Structure 1
Amino acid sequence: MATMKQVAERAGVSTTTVSHVINNTRVVSEDVRKRVLAIIAETRYIPSAVARSLKNDRTHTIGMMVPNNSNPYFAELIQGIEDAAFKVGYNIILCNAYDDPKKQAAYLRVLMEKRIDGLILVASGSDDELASLLGDLHVPMVVVDRELPGVEADFIEADHETGGYLATRHLLDMGHRDIACVSGPINLPPSRDRVVGYLRALKEAGLKFRLDYLVRSDFTSAGGFAAFSQLLALKKPPTAIFASNDLMAIGGICAASQAGVAVPRQLSVVGYDDIALASYSTPPLTTVAQPKYRMGQLITQVLIDRIMVGDVPLRREMLQSELKQRQSTAPL
């Protein structure tokens, strides 16, 4: 691979001139500019991003932290973020915390060393070390879905309470009254908000909440399988279950099949997120669709605006979700 010095020698100019052509930091004659650019193309010289960042104080790199990218929800959110970032010349460094706040803190140090221009954070929970590091970061930041106490940043979320309400309201409209909820971890705001929506719909329908109909798990298929198995083993099992994400719902449908319970004839199931797999489960999953791609694009737009403009009022945006009815729900 060619070096800047080799490019300069072939063009008959100094390395400083080559640097000015690459970084647009000084006026260079059109003839010299064309000659340098032609040799860069011919030798396939790749300028050092680190060196350029030292001159421009920009790396055109965004750091992104997600709890667990094995969840297809995050993969689809990331696609919207990457597409929007690519259009404006920004790259993404993705860090996967695997739902561990300590890993978040370790990866945050790595991103600080990479001199990122901005950070997108979907938190896996919080601890004192993480809060302290975020306070010292001093780069534009967008926090997604899970607000962190004491952290000043733009905040983008979906309306999870309304989503939980829509899911439960759909089951009520189908005639179900014994409706259970499989929730995500209690320490995550989206989990809590979806349960609040579930409870609001029950109260609105004049139904009493049953404690044994609320089971908490993690946002995985295995977690859904275990939670559904617990609910279906009750003396009076539910006729419908709202699962707080699609992975749990799909794992739960598998548990129902193993227990000899037919979906939707004997058990109606609603998921949450509308991941691509939801359309291809057996049966296709009724779910609350989050605007993942649109949310990803908005997150990037807000962050780039913050990087470019700087000191403007913090933004808070809430996007709405909608129910997608498929074949996993049926009238009682």
Structure 2
Amino acid sequence: MATIYEVSKAAGVSLATVSRVMNGNVKVSDRTRAKVIKAMDELGYKPNSIAQSLASNRSNSVGLLVSELHGSFFGNMMSTVEQVLRNAGKHVVITAGHSDEQKEKDAIEFLLDRRCDAIILHAEAVSDEYLLELNQRNVEVVLINRRIEQMAERCFYTDNELGGYLATKAAIDAGHKDIAYISGPRFKQDASERLAGHKRALAEANIDFNPQLLVEGGFHEDEGAQGYAQLLATGLSFTALVCANDEMASGAMTAAREGGVLIPEQLSVIGFDDVLFARYLYPKLTTIDNPIQRMGYGAAHWVLEHVYKQKTPKQHTNLFAPKLIVRDSLVVPS
């Protein structure tokens, strides 16, 4: 196996120059860089990643914390972050926090122990104070789907309140007045903001908010089915059901259909996120586009620009606007 010394001799440059090329140092001219890379290719030299890390004080890896490893929503985010960073020659270390404070802290410490150069967090359970303290440590922290004022420039998030408002307003605009709602866990920032948007749309239309028509779920399909059953148990009638994500909407639709309810003729359903399966449900699900891929794209490019000093496409916003996607699950009530 070729050595760095042989690469240096073949390229006619110093060992320090070869090291700078391997570590992406911008102070090497394009001509010299090309000579070193050519020598490495001809000799079949493969840089040792541990040696690179020691020389540059960089691991060339980025940590990514997500709430769950399953599902289209987080799959889209993980795929986007990994692709952007891999194209830039960086690796992604992924772990899950399961929306639990201690598990999120354990996962973050795991990423720090791996000497990640930066960590991108979809953290839901840890406090703002914890994240602000973490941001003072010797690692760059970027947040997805969460905003903390003191870290606003490194937060990439959706206007969840507006999304919740648009979902319920769509039902109201279709003529519905009896509207039930299945929220996500209200300790989560996005879930509480979507519920606030739901209440704003009702108030704007002079429709009283009925707490009996509110059920709290956990963002999973089975909790959508359970939530629908709880709403039925109240004995109150409702012609539209707004769910805080598409998974719960899917579960509620299945439960309603199994109970003999026609969708959308007897019950209109609206979701949130616009994950891939939303357009393949029957009927196709009206939902809110939640641009998680664009948030992941923004977060990954922030890391490349601020940590690795690479030129990236201009990021114009940290705040992403949701939009209504109208499909077949919403109709005028009969």
TM-score, with structure 1 as normaliser: 0.85
Please give the alpha-carbon distance, in whole angstroms, between the structure 2 residues aligned to 1:45 and 1:11.
Answer: 12
Give secondary structure in 2 for the equivalent of 1:73.
helix
C-alpha contact 1:141 1:153 (8 A) present in aligned 2: no
Deviations 1:4-48 (A, max 9, x none): 4796799699995765664477989x89985x7567446754322
Matches within 5 A, 1:233-244: 233-244=233-244
The answer to whether 1:120 aligns with 2:120 is yes
Contact 2:180 2:242 in 1 (8 A): yes
Q: Is the 8 A contact 2:63 2:92 kept in 1?
A: yes
The reply on whether 1:230 has 2:230 as its aligned counterpart is: yes
Letter of the 1:103 counterpart: K
Alignment correspondent of 1:275: 275
* Equivalent position of 2:173 in the other structure: 173
Query: Any idea what SS the aligned residue of 1:273 has?
Result: coil
| Aligned partner letter, 2:196 | V
Greater alpha carbon shift after TM alignment, 135-144 vs 267-276: 135-144
Post-superposition Cα deviations, 1:52-102, rounded to whole Å, max 9, x if no partner, equal: 122112222211101112131111122332233233332221111222222
Structure-to-structure mapping, 1:202-241, within 5 angstroms: 202-241=202-241
Number of residues of Structure 1 aligned to a counterpart in Structure 2: 325
Q: Which moved more, 1:316-325 or 1:133-142?
A: 133-142
Query: How far did residue 289 of structure 1 move?
Result: 0.6
Superposed counterparts of 1:77-116, under 5 Å: 77-116=77-116
Amino acid in structure 2 at the alignment position of 1:289: D
- Structure 1: stretches of 5+ with no match in the other structure: none
Structure 2: stretches of 5+ with no match in the other structure:
311-315
Change (3 A) 1:126 1:256: same
Opposite residue 177 of structure 1, the aligned amino acid is K
Instruction: Name the counterpart of 2:156.
Output: 156
Q: What amino acid is aligned across from residue 330 of structure 2 in structure 1?
A: T
Equivalent position amino acid for 1:46 in 2: K
Three-state SS of the structure 2 residue aligned to 1:248 is: helix
CA-to-aligned-CA distance 1:103-158 (integer Å, 9 cap, x gap): 22222222212221211111130169955872563222111223469878721110
1:198 maps to 2:177? no
Distance in structure 1 (CA, Å) of the matches to 2:294 and 2:32 = 44
Residue of structure 2 in register with 1:188 after alignment: 188
| Contact 1:244-1:271 within 8 A present in 2 as well | yes
Matched residue, 1:62: 62
Q: Measure how far apart 1:172 and its partner are.
A: 0.6
Distance (whole Å) between structure 2 residues aligned to residue 87 and residue 157 of structure 1 = 23
Kindly tell me: are residues 221 and 278 of structure 1, through their superposed partners in 2, closer, same or farther at Cα, counting changes over 3 Å?
A: same
Distance in 1, Cα, partners of 2:128 & 2:289: 34
User: d(CA) in 1 for partners of 2:32 and 2:150?
Assistant: 54
Change (3 A) 1:249 1:16: same
Deviations 1:203-227 (A, max 9, x none): 1111111111110010100111110
Q: Deviations over 1:146-204 (max 9, x none)?
A: 34698787211101111111110110111111101100001111101101110011011
Tell me if structure 2 keeps the 8 A contact 1:166–1:322: yes
Contact 1:104/1:130 (8 A) holds in 2: no
The one-letter code matched in structure 2 to 1:306 is: H
One-letter amino acid matched to 1:141:
V
Q: Are the aligned partners of 1:122 and 1:146 in contact in 2 as well (CA < 8 Å)?
A: yes
Aligned twin of 2:328: 327
* d(CA) in 2 for partners of 1:240, 1:40: 64
* Separation (CA, whole Å) in 2 of partners of 1:21 and 1:209: 63
TM superposition shift of 1:271: 0.3
Partner residue of 1:318?
A: 319
Report the identity percentage. Answer: 30
Write the mapping of 1:261-272 to structure 2, written as runs, cut at 5 A: 261-272=261-272
Q: 1:38 to 1:251 in 2, by over 3 A?
A: same
* SS of match in other structure, 2:284: coil
> How far, CA to CA, are the matches of 2:253 and 2:290 in structure 1?
21
The secondary structure found in structure 2 opposite 1:274 is coil
Per the TM alignment, residue 305 of structure 1 is displaced from its structure 2 partner at its CA by: 2.6
Distance 1:27 1:163 in 2: 48
- Cα pair 1:286 1:324 within 8 Å, conserved: yes
Task: Tell me, yes or no, if the aligned pair for 1:290 and 1:321 is still in contact at 8 Å.
Answer: yes
